[in-house]
Amino acid sequence: MERVRPGSLKAWFTLPRFHFIFLTVINVSLGTAIAAYEGSFHPGYFLLAMIGSILVHMTVNVINDYYDYVNGIDLNTRRTPFSGGSGVLPSRLLGSKQAFWFATLSLLIAMGIGIYFVMVRGWPLFPLLLVAGFSAYFYNVCLAKWMMGELFAGLNLGTLLVLGSYFVQTGRYSWEVLIASLAPGILTSNLLLLNEFPDLEADQKGGRRHLVISLGRRDASYLFVALLSTSYLCIIIGVLTRMMPGVTLIGLGTIWCGWKAAKGALKHHDDQVELVPVLGVNVMTILGTQALLALGYVIAAIK
């Protein structure tokens, strides 16, 4: 955190970890692209849904930093570009209370946008918002201690984002969008799963109980490979059952990156230094797959 002054604008921009928010941008775009493929697109709703979703993701990142700092996890964590938090609070660039209220305000604004969509698009959106709000704010309080963190990360920042952004465009859900949202949900869970490997000891001391702690790094690496394979299988099944357009098979274009991530996780699961490049390849695999799926739906919509 060199060259960043305490309380500076750069400190505030570092806190939400905007480089991770590309995940949200892509998944909201995917849900919107599916709606456009089916003939529904409202640019104003897309922009508003994007803002609300980014605010929820900011809440997740900042409240995670807050609780990890309060529980002492970030003080014992070896940070990497992909794990270990923003480093803003341990470096005392901002106060923990400032981070807490930043996260709270972000969630309140996001919930305001969500309530607006419930009013104009329908009540079926409300349960989705309830799950998203709860899991965003209480991830560290309970979910990360009950071996449910990976599941809710995939739901909140994967499947529910796709479903929600589709719903605000169409006013309904469909089996097609549910099938299309499975791979993003699994991949998002897998992103968190692998990023937990370097933090195992610090998380354990801080009271967390996630899958990497419960299974151990070796068995968790097998789970990582299984989930990655399942995500690609979901795309193939979606196309074979005609629930997804054939052009979305371009989502399989990241298989080579996925293979490198899987091989690296199995080989280097206990080597924190060698694992860092693997984390990077995994990020490229996940973002690339989801972006290609969105592109596939855009191409299908234009045809």
DSSP H stretches of helix in 216-271:
217-240, 255-268
Tokens of 158: 């994967």
- Return the percentage of the chain with pLDDT > 90, whole number: 67
> Directed axis angle between helix 96-121 and helix 126-138, to 10°?
170
Which has more confidence, 169 or 84? 169
* pLDDT of the residue at 86: 78
Which range has the worst mean pLDDT, 10-24, 35-49, 224-238? 10-24
Angstrom distance (rounded) from CA 293 to CA 287: 10
* pLDDT of the residue at 199: 83
What average pLDDT does the segment 232-249 reach?
A: 98
Q: pTM above the 0.85 mark?
A: yes
Task: Return the sign of the alpha-carbon dihedral for residues 261, 262, 267, 268.
Answer: positive
Q: Is the distance from CB of 288 to CB of 231 less than 8 angstroms? A: no
Residue spans per domain, the chain? 9-302
9-302: CATH architecture:
Orthogonal Bundle (1.10)
What average pLDDT does the segment 42-59 reach?
A: 96
What average pLDDT does the segment 87-91 reach?
A: 85
pLDDT tens profile 183-215: 999 999 999 999 999 888 887 887 778 889 999
